[in-house]
Amino acid sequence: EVQLVESGGGLVKPGGSLRLSCVASGFTFTSAWMSWVRQAPGKGLEWVGRIKSQTYGGTTDYAAPVKGRFTLSRDDSKNTLYLQVNSLITEDTAVYFCTKTFHSDSSFDYWGQGTLVTVSS
Closer CB to another protein, 64 or 77, in the complex = 64
Say how far apart CA 99 and CA 39 lie, in whole Å: 13
Q: How far is the CB of 64 from another protein (least distance, A)?
A: 8
Q: Strands 45-51, 60-62: parallel, antiparallel or unpaired by DSSP?
A: antiparallel
Q: Site map for another protein, 52-71, x if CB under 8 A?
A: ---------x-xx-------
Q: Are 66 and 84 in contact (CB under 8 A)?
A: no
Site for another protein in 25-44 (CB under 8 A): 35, 37, 44
Q: How far is the CB of 33 from another protein (least distance, A)?
A: 12
Q: Are 37 and 48 in contact (CB under 8 A)?
A: yes
115 contacts another protein (rule: CB under 8 A):
no
**DSSP strand E in 17-79: where?**
18-25, 34-39, 45-51, 60-62, 70-75
114 contacts another protein (rule: CB under 8 A):
yes
Residues in the site for another protein, rule: CB under 8 A?
Answer: 35, 37, 44-47, 50, 61, 63-64, 97, 102-109, 111-114
